[in-house]
Amino acid sequence: MIFGRDGEELITGEVPALDRDPPEETKTATFSLGCFWGPDATFGSLPGIVKTRVGYAGGEKRDPSYRSLGGHTETLQVDYDLEKMNYKRLLNIFWDRHDFTRSKKAQYRSMIFFHGEEQKEIASRSKRKKEKEVRGDVKTVIRGYSEFHMAEDYHQKYHLTKKKALHDALRNVYTDIEDFIDSTAVARANGYVSGHGDISSADDLKGLGLNEEGREFLYEIWKKVRGV
């Protein structure tokens, strides 16, 4: 237990079931769609997303930071389970979640960084389709992935960090920040506190390592954000 953290009453203390047997095969996708806090939560809530991380990509600076981006763009990177998710579906969510018809400053550009030829094809096709749909210009830049600079820890799973008891509970399970960022359970919890996810009772929150009290606690937050 780390001094000063609470939330211990909300967890079982065991490794969350969702993190227990990671999928055999995952792929990575990298997208920029405005402030990265929101996409981290949206994508993190989806079954089939194994890991999420936020960072900076597409610029020149070799060691960007939030205060000194050096031409980089806020970017989300996810690892997805090939048995439960595919790139086309990820792109549909990408388009749905931001306005890609307006020019933005470098920090908030709309970008797709493809990993490999297959993603390149799918992304290009998907962009052409969008152009037809909106009958005009899609500002999204499609580019080959080259590098991704992790953002500061306080940007990772940002919405969850604002729910201290829950955040601390999960940090009690994952005391190492890297394990915390990489946890599927933590990615889901970050999505649920933001009102994402298809949940109809606290029972649907099993697998996150929370006990009954913890599940109720999270379910109440989810309902409040959803306004139900």
- Closest CB to ligand MHO among residues 35, 165: 35
By CB under 6 A, which span of 33-41, 43-51, 195-203, 213-221 interacts with ligand MHO? 33-41
Enzyme catalytic residues: 35
Burial state string for 23-53 with b = 16 or more CB within 10 A and e = fewer than 16: eeebbbbbbbbbebbbbbbbbbbbebbbbbb
Q: Is 37 one of the binding residues for ligand MHO (CB under 6 A)?
A: yes
- Closest CB to ligand MHO among residues 37, 222: 37
210 contacts 18 by C-beta, under 8 angstroms? no
Among 35, 142, 165, 225, indicate the residue that binds ligand MHO (CB under 6 A).
Answer: 35
- Measure the CA angle with vertex 43, ends 42 and 48; round to 5°: 140
Among 40, 74, 81, 182, indicate the residue that binds ligand MHO (CB under 6 A).
Answer: 74
Q: Are strands 110-114 and 141-144 parallel, antiparallel or unpaired?
A: parallel
End-to-end CA distance of the chain: 35
Q: Is 106 one of the binding residues for ligand MHO (CB under 6 A)?
A: no
By CB under 6 A, which span of 21-29, 35-43, 133-141, 217-225 interacts with ligand MHO? 35-43
Minimum Å gap between C-beta 219 and ligand MHO is 27
Which residues bind to ligand MHO, rule: CB under 6 A?
Answer: 35-37, 74
